[in-house]
Structure 1
């Protein structure tokens, strides 16, 4: 299922509230999702290093398909689960696949 910026609230809720993804992984997760290092540096600077705000802006940039997000599969539950797997968050990736990826 393709996601877009209108899904930001659902993505944030799923990751941080339901699955308790720590906000401090936003930078590494952003790289896995296809955001460039300069974009992530700008996000960090714009939010004075506040990991919760950075996490939200990172997910927003991903949902808006910035940088090479499309090359990494575009914003979808499947690509998010893949990125979480690469960050060692296997149980969260499995939860997302079980909940959202019927044909993934």
Structure 2
């Protein structure tokens, strides 16, 4: 189980624009919505596509391959073709630093 690690600066996150970062050899996606930052796996559970290349609408990220949608707050798959959730990771903000703690498998 990892601890919180600095992964980005809050000032570099553009609202509704996913940012891919690496934490402990895993790629995750940071999404800033208002004053909140969310972190999910950079993997669509339908076919392994890169969620970080998708578009964000409201609190959903849309896989660029087949249009599967995931709630960035919970990881829930919201429409087909995805049926399984993606992992969500804890985020903490300290000043301008964004820290992430990976979820257990």
Q: TM-score range by the shorter chain?
A: under 0.3
**Alignment TM-score, normalising by the size of structure 1:** 0.25
Structure number with the bigger relative contact order (C-alpha 8 A, sep ≥ 6) is 1
Higher strand fraction: Structure 1 or Structure 2? 2
- The TM-score with structure 2 as length reference comes to 0.25
- The structure with the greater share of residues assigned to helix is 1
